[in-house]
Structures are given as C-alpha cells and as structure tokens.
Structure 1
Amino acid sequence: MMGAHAFAALVRPPPSHSLFLQSLFLVAITCIGRPALAITEAEALIKFKSSLTNNEALSNWDPSSSPCLEGRTARWVGVICSNGKVWGLKLENMGLGGTIDIDALSQLPELRTLSFKTNKFEGVIPDFHLLPKLRSFYLTNNRFSGEIPDNAFAGMDALRRVVLTRNAFTGKIPSSLATLPILVELKLDNNQFQGNVPNFQQKNLPNINVANNQLEGPLPATFNKLNPKMLSGNKELCGAPLEPCPGEKAVTAGGAATPNTKQQSSSKIILIVLGVLALVILASLIILVCSKKRKTKLQKRDSLASQDENQFVETYVPPAEEHTTTTTTTRKRADPGTLDFVREDRKKFGLSELLTASAEVLESGNFESSYKVELFAGELLVVKRFRQMTKVGREDFNEHIRRMGKLKHPNVLALVAYYYRKEEKLLIFDFVDNGNLASQLHGNHTQKKDGGGLDWPMRLKIIKGVARGLSYLYAELPSLTVPHGYLKSSNVLLNDSYEPLLMDYALKPLINPEHAKKLMVAYKSPEYAQNGNLTKKTDVWSLGILILEVLTGKFPTNFLAVGNIKGENLVAWVNDIANEDEKGEDVFDKEMGVSDHNRVEMRKLLKVGFSCCHENVDVRWSIKEALEKIEEVKETDKPDI
C-alpha cells in the first residue's frame, strides 16, 4: 500500500525555482482538494428542467424565486414541499420527454419522492441508486424499456414504493428489489419481464403486482397468499396461489401417487375434522355454562375494565412525542378492544396495531387531536381523537356512525373505522396528502408573489366540489338541521388532483352541546346570534362565507374565533366586501389570475356567495338554488373558437 510519504513524493513539484511552475502546482492542488460548489434548489430544478422536452407545463419555474415557501406550500407547479424544502416532484400527465437528470436531482438534499406518471419518457431506467434517500418513485405509463441491472436498487434502504407499471421493461426482475428492507409496494405489471420471480426476503411481503409479463417457473412459497390477479397474464408461472407446477403433487414412498392412497388420505382428513368439531362443540358447552356463573362478576367489573381501557387509549402518543415511561406503560397494558369498520372494502387491522404504528401530530386542540398514522403495510391514515363526545351513549353513537359510514361521494372524505369509549372516541379516515384549502389559500400569504397560489379554474373547481359534497350531505342526512355544521376552509381537504373532500361533517349530534356552541361554525351564523336557533340554511351560510374567502383570499378571522358567536364582526366583513364591489373596487385575490375573460364569471360566483350568506334566512338561498347557480359559473366568458 502506498503510504503518505510516497503520495507526497508523487505530488511534490519538480525541483525548480520557476514561479510559474510553483503557481501552477498550487492551483492544481487547490482544484483537486476543493469540493464542488453546492447549488440552490432552484438552480438544481432549472438544470433538471433543461434536460426535459415539451416542458411548457413547467413555465412558472422561475429561477429568480424559490420553489418552496415555508412549510408545505409550493410556489412551483409539480413541486412538493416540506419544511420549506423540496421534498418531491409530482410531474404527471404533462407530456414530458427527454432525460431525467439524476445528477441535478441529487442536489436536492431533502428529495424523497418522484412521480413521472403518464408522460413520454423512454429508454433505460434512470440511475435512481444515485438518490439513496429516495422513498418512492412512479414511472407508470411511459415508454421506458430495456433490462434493469440486477443491482439497480442496491443500497436504497429507504425505498418503500416502486411503480413501473405499463412500460416495456425486459429481462429479469432485479434481485436487489427482493432485499429492500422496508419495501411496501412494488408494481411491475404490464411490462415484458422474463424469468423467475425472485424470492423476496422482506418480513412482510410487499403489495406486489407482476401481472401481464412473461414470467415463468415456480413462485416463491411466500407468494401463496397473494391475490392471483396480481400474477395473472404470465402463462408459465406456477405454484400457489396459481396452478401447481409439474411434479408438485404428493407422492408415495415408491414415488407415485395412487388412488387408494388419495382415498385413505381423504378418509383420515374427514375423521380428523369430525374429531375437531366434536371437541369444539364440547368446549363451547362448557364455556356457556361457566359464562352464566361469571356473568354477575363480569358486570361488576365492566366499569373498572372500561376505565382501564380508557387509560390505555389516553397513553396513545405518537412515537415522536413518547417518553420512555409512557412507552413502557403502553406495552404492558392489555389489548383495549377492537375497531369497528364501516367499510367492507378495507383490509382490517387491530387497535393495538394502530396504537403502536408510526405516527405524527397533525393537529392538537381542545376539540380534537389528529394524527397521521402509517401502518406496517404502508397504509396512511388519519386518526381523529375526540374528547368532547362524552354525553352520547354507545347505542346512539354507533347508530349515527353507521349512517356516516354509508356516505359515499367523490367530495366527501369517507369514514373507514371508529372506536368507542365513554371518555373519548376515535374516527379513522384515509390520509389525504395535499393539505387543506386554508393552507393553500393563506399559507405564508403575505410572502406570495403573483402566480404563486391557486388560480381561478382551480378555485372554481374546488367550490363546485364543495357545493356538490354539501348538497349530497343534505340529501343523505335529511333528519339533521345542519348536515355538516363545521364547514370552513381548514375542513376542506384537497387530493392529488385538487378535488375537494369535506371532513368533520355530521358531528353535531355527537358533540357535547356546550362545546359545539363554542367551537362549531354553525353557531357563528346570524340566525343563532339573533334567536339562538339553527336552520336548514345554516350550512348554506357557511358555504357563502367559504366562497367569499376563496374569491378574495381574505381570511375571516373573527368568523373562526373561539367564543365569538355574535357574528357582528363577520357580518361587517361581508358588508365591507359588498361595499367594495359596489364601488367598483377589485375585491378578487390577484393570485387567481384575474383577466377580462374571467372577471365576469368571478362576479357571478361572488354574487352567489353574497346570496348564500345573506343575514336574512328568508332571503338566503337554499342548497338546491346555490348548487344550481354555482354549476352555471364557467372558467371564462370567452366563447369557444
């Protein structure tokens, strides 16, 4: 091995007193030892963009601005931000082509996810192993082709999701995929992969789909419980859960299976089954007799058990906040019970699994606490924990929740499961990862530049979705005076395509009345301030306020202030907007992109907002009238050419 002195001898300049040679030597050494200068996130993304073709969809990538504001708010289209840093790229359905510049992306230190679904990329798979912190990437519906090197994913220990669906990849499935420690999803379907399926080493088999390829040979034993649809379209694949491979049938000691042997085996199986059934029946009778004797004791202990179970749930704190003592206490307690699922299309999981899963706090307040929870299978959920529902009985609670569980609409966040205890309740929903409308409208609002927020077509789409969802709640929950009751911008989630989803709806029958009056939006309405009553038009009033907020970009602070149920300040806020409109002043949020072609339609929607939140209930529109008028609003009054 060459030592330090030997290396020094190699790099020592020749014995010369020439100033030029000495200077040249110093420059060379300086250049060799100096690391490459780091570039900003904006510079890295602009470099990445330059490698793409048909990149007109990325026209607002302005090198003079930052791609992210603070928090999760992004300024550039297709950029996903977290803590003010670029966390991911979601460039889908944009017609992009060219090269995915991995070197440029490697300059983004917080990059964790990439999605290039439905574009025009082609050629070999990019060198994603140069992004070792990457958690997921999606290449669905492109034109990638060729073989993927066997070690393409080696060292990518953070990788959780790999989706290569509908491309033209060939060759064997890389064995390096089978050793990724926390892989939870792998979609390789509709390609041209060949050869055997690797033996996946993960403790829990990922969600795998290899359908419609050219795979062959026996499946690994760990695949025996996989849905056969995920393996279909591979004619030469065999083994459970597909047809048995040749030679897999049971054989006798002599090497051949015989009908007599099969019959004997069947008879033995039947006898064993009958014996087990007899034991089960006997055990059931014994348990039935014993249970009657213990019934009184169990009833006496029920309240104590419930109290202990409540204490168990009270110890639930996301891992990021846990202390050692809390963790120890939680693990020593018994299983507190089971979750009640309201949807049959969902894979069931237990409460203990939920309580021990990875979680982070989304919101914590007097009314509710919300947690983002990731189950071991990679499923993301939101757990809402309510303490102000102590005055509703179990039977009434279950009945109402079951009604909520039957609600299905594209603009209503569907309930997945719930958990009942006297002192607190858990409601479980799917996680929606694009934030809520309030954060999109008002996140770092004072720092935004023109073009940095939601544009007019997007806001119109959101309002129409909200109105449709609210109208659906009115139709499906006719017995409720306020079928939503808590409609505000922070309770409107936005999915990946910015389709709105209503949340925290239909909670009024469950919340303790004294807390509902202090916290719920419905109790801010003029009718409640005037006579202490809610009406069938109260939710429409909330819709009107939301429309004005979306159009003006102004946050109705007093509207949401806890304890402010008089509504005076909010009425004044609405009147101020109306007066500005009457004076001809432009009340619209400039970030919408106001132009002569869409201003007329904006004013139509503004009038709808005024009619929805009119102080006089008799004059205020019904939900049917509101929806009809909202549906008539268009993105532009410019005629189609």
Structure 2
Amino acid sequence: MGVPSIVTTLWVFSLLSNTYFFSPVGALNEEGAALLSFKASIREDPEGSLANWNSSDLDPCSWNGITCREGEVVSISLPKSKLLGSLPSSLGSLPSLRHINLRNSRLQGGLPPGVFAARGLQSLVLSGNSLSGPLPPEIGKLSYLQNLDLSDNSLNDSIPIALFQCKRLKSLDISHNNFTNSLPIGLGSNLAGLQKLDLSYNRLNGSIPSDIGSLSSLQGTVDLSHNLFSGAIPASLGNLPEKVYIDLTYNNLSGPIPQNGALVNRGPTAFIGNPGLCGTPLKNPCSSGTPASSPSTLPSLPKNHPPPASEANNSQKSNHRGLSRSAVIAIVMSDVVAIGLMAVAFFCCYRMAVSSSGEEEGGKSDTGSNGGKKCACFRKDESEKQSENVEQFDLIPLDHRVHYNLDELLKASAFVLGKSEIGFMYKVVLEDGLILAVRRLGEGGSQRFKEFQTEAEAIAKVRHPNIVALRAYYWSIEEKLLIYDYIPNGTLSAAIHGKGGNAHFSPLSWDARLKIMKGIAKGLAFLHEFSPKKYVHGDLKPNNVLLDMKMEACISDFGLGRLANIAGESPTMQSTEKPQNQISDVAVSPIMSSALSYQAPEAFSTLKPSQKWDVYSYGVILLELISGRSPVVLMDNSEMDLVRWVQFCIDERKPLLDVLDPFLAKEPEKEDQIITVLKIALACVQFNPEKRPPMRHVSDTLERSTTRS
C-alpha cells in the first residue's frame, strides 16, 4: 500500500511541477488576449498602429490606442489608422470598456453581436469604414450608450427598434448608409435626451414619425435629408426647439408645410427636392392644383431659392453702367500713377527720417511731448502746429510679442500694396526680416485719441486663427498707423479670379475652396458669438479675406471703419477697396459696382450694420467660390448681381454644370458636397434677414455636412 501511495504522490508532484515550470511567469492577461484577437483579424496595418501590441507584455495598458484605468481597458482609440480587416466579437469581453473609436479605417464585414456584450460602452464611433449588413438588435443592451456614430458605411436593413432601449443616447449619426424601411415609432418618446440626430443619405421610407417632435433636447440640425420619406410633414416637428434647423430636403414629402414653432420662418432651402410640398416659404401655392413635376435623375440646382433682392440693388448699380472702356482705362492709369507717387514719397521720407536721426544728438531729433520720435515718413509741413490737447505717442504695442519699435519701423523697407477710401496699405520689411502690413489712416483732423485707444485695444483682443490680428498702432496729429500681421498669399478675390497679367493662374481645387469657406465661417462665427463685444464686420468681401501660406482664410479689416471714423477719415460703409489688398498687384475692378454686390439688401436702407449683413455677404462669397464668377455677372448687354443670376438659373431649371466653375466640373466625386454648400449659400442670401441662419449654425452645418474624417 505504501509504495503505490508514494509513486502516486511523486507523479502528481511531477505533473504539478512541470505545469509550473513550463507556464510563462508573466503571461498576458485576458483583456490583452482579447485585443490580440482583434489584431489577428487585421490583414493590413500600413501605419503600424498595432506594432507594439505584443503577447510578451503583462497587460495591454501601454499599447498604442489603449487607455486603462486601474489596470482595466476603458478605451480603444485608433482613428484614421487605415486598418484593413474586421471586428471580432472578443471586444465585447472587455468588462470595463467605455469607448471605441475606429473611425476612418477600412474595416469590413458586419457588426458582430458579441461586440455589444460590453455593457458599459458609452461611445461607439465606427464612421468612415466599409461595414455592411444589419445593425444587430443586441445594441439595445448598451444601456449606458451616449454616442453612436456609424455614418459613412454600408449598413443596411431596418433600424432595429431595440436601438430605442439606449435611452441615454445624446448623439445618433447613422447617415450615409443604406438603411431601408420606415423609421420605427418611439424615437422621440424613448430618446428624450438626444441632442444630435442625423439620418441623412439613407433609403428610409414611409412617413416621418410624429413623436420626433418630442425631442426637446435637440441642438443644431435635425437632418432627415436625402431619404425616401413620404406623406405630409408632421406639424409636431414645430415643437422642436426654435433654434433647431430641420433639414427635410430631397425626400418625397407632399402637402402643405406646417407653419408653427420651429417650422415658422424657415427658408425654402430646408424643403427643396420635395416636388409635392406647397405653401410658405415655397413659390408653389397649395391652392394651385398643378401637379408637381417629377424630379430629374440628373444633377440639377435646388428648385427653390430666396425671394428677389431689393430694387435698391439695381439703383445702386445702374449709376455705373454708362462707364466707357476709355473711362475705365483712365481710372486705372490715374490710380497707378497716384500709388506710384505715394511709394516714391514714402521712400524719400523714410530716407530723410533715417538721415536726420543721425545728424546731431542734441536738438535736431524729432520728438514728441513724451520723448517719442514722430513718424517722419508721414510728417506734415513744419509750419503747422500741433493741437495742445493731442498727446504724442511712440508705437503702441497691443501684443506682448511685439518686439519692434517706431525707429525700426522708420528704417524698414516699405512697398505700396494697395489703396482704398480709408487709406494706403504698405508691406514693411524690418531689418531682421520680419514682414508687417501697415495701414495708413491718413491725416484726419479729429483728435479723439482716448476713444481711438479704447477701440484699438478692444479690437486687438479679438484673437482667432481666421482673423488678421491688430498688433500695434501709432497715433499723432499728423499720422495714424495700424500694424497687422502680414498675410503672404494675397486676397481671396485674386485666388478665385487671378490677378491682372498673371498668365500662370491656377484655379483652386474644391478641397481648397471648402477649406477657405470653413475658415471664413469660423472667423465670422467667432466675431458674432465669442468675441468680447459680439462684433459685426460690416464689409465682408473677397478683397478683405486674405490667404496665408497654408491657404487658410484670414478675415482682414475688421473694425477698420470704426477706427478710421474716430481718426477723422469718415469713410463710407462700403469701402471701395481695390482687389490688390495686401500682396496683390495694383488694379481696379472692371465692374465698378462689384463691391456693392456683397451688401445685404437692407444695408441700403439702414446705417446700422448687423450680423445678418455678414451672413448675406458670406453667402455671396460661397456663390462666388462655387461658380467662379465675379459678383456682378454680365448677361448680353446687361449686368446682374451674382445672387440674382443664381436665382435666374434656378428659375430656368438650368443644370448644375451651368452654375459651377468649369474647373470644378472635373471633380464629379465632390458633387454632393457642392450641392450641400450651395444649399447653405442660398440660406445665407435670403432676402428677409430673419430667415438667414446665424453664423455659428452655418459653420457647424458646413463642418458636419462636408467633413467625414
């Protein structure tokens, strides 16, 4: 009995010992093993995103894209990683997983139901992949889910009613897929906390559920566009918050448009592409009884458009139609000569200032009451006396990064860039190579220095990447100068239409134009909503939108009219700035009324600018970027402003190609984006200011609708 017992004990000991010694001491934990199964499902990893996912580690917390909390995986974030492969069910076995972000990769196949076993998931972002198949009903198990973004895939079949069990959802974006059938009832009653809803570009049909009107927390845009929804627009949509923009474009909706709540005062751009709709704000009256024409299968312009512009526009432009070719040439030549003389005067004065500063250290230097040197380059006749109540200042910096002084400015090389009613603009190159843009406000007699100082300091506080910064200023009885950052790539006007005599003009690509559009929108939205005083620009046009080295848009001349008025220039609201602002060559627009075409219709009947003026001007700029045309279009022997010309093309049912810049016709893959921007532009140029969207909404819509990254 003893021997067998000993043998058995030794055998068991040997077995246990072998197991101990041949097992790895620091084996990867279960979460790491689950993630390695994901790596195994990836066939291509061109960016090396998973290169440090190794089985030799104790846990995956140091791996690229993995975030842990208390040793447990809570986030997988590998956006834009270009991973080619599929999603494994094993991701659902991570018990503490809260966030998955695998957007803009190349994931294929279906959504495995096992992924939704991660019950604590709060954010699931898989947009911009090639996922297909249905959305599994197991998604209803994610009771903590707040953000679901499955946009830009090929998911299909019905939207499962189980989705409405995710009652904590705040953002739902399933746009640009192939979802079909009707939208289940219960969206509004179950997802009361929803703040973002985008169902656009699918094949959803049937009627729009009336309970969507119960989504009282929605913000921004409710996008139901580019589907197959039919029937009437439910009046309950008017119960949505009034600031919400409801996009119902390109469906099969019919009947009268309800006029209540959030549906009141909406422009026609919210309803285009639904031939069966009638009533305000469309031109199709409900009482007409005329059957609507079927929509064309070819790309075309939106069927509806803003009401005609003010007749004041016509009267403003008619004064310029009689200009002959010789008159235009004379104007051009006189401006060229005047600017050339100013350049010579600037250079000579600068030389005099430099030489006089070295004559004697005693009494011959020009100093003011506080010892600061006068700006001799722009000095008046010595016989003129200064007003006793005017303080004389040196260069006043408005930014701590300003390290140059007036003396360095005087010694700099200066080149005339352009001229307007407000004054000349110079390119100034300091001895250390720094380049500045200096605007001379002239020799106004008003001496409201304190008011000027307060206004300049307020303007200088506006800091945004898409707004040209005011860095310093100079004030004296004889001269007022504004010093800005120098923006090297010229004006947007030159980028759209080229500069005179430039044989190497290259039209902007659509992506470049879209980038510029977004930059202007962000800058204006900042001015309107987030700047210290919620400013208005009041004179936005391509000549004062500058482009930097990366072709980012920079809005210039903000606050210029106010400063010039204080300085005594009393400029008109519509400055006739020539197209050469900043780097472009001296030239005069051949159509003298073009600057007025960017002004909102109401600008001709009231002197107080509003943010709605800027929205209109921005809309005209969008149309100019889309069409490549000047703001005044020549038709036979007459002129028509760009807004009315686009309206004319819509009325005549002309194809989209007739409106597009011919260069953009080479990019047919951008058609959807172009149509989206055209819709935004038409909303901005509504005749009624109250129907124009705020710039913050315009910027958000432009970013959301055209960016899938």
TM-score normalised over the length of structure 2: 0.40
- Choose between structure 1 and 2 for higher RCO, CA contacts under 8 A separated by at least 6 residues: 2
Higher helix share: 1
TM-score between the two structures when normalised by the length of structure 1:
0.44
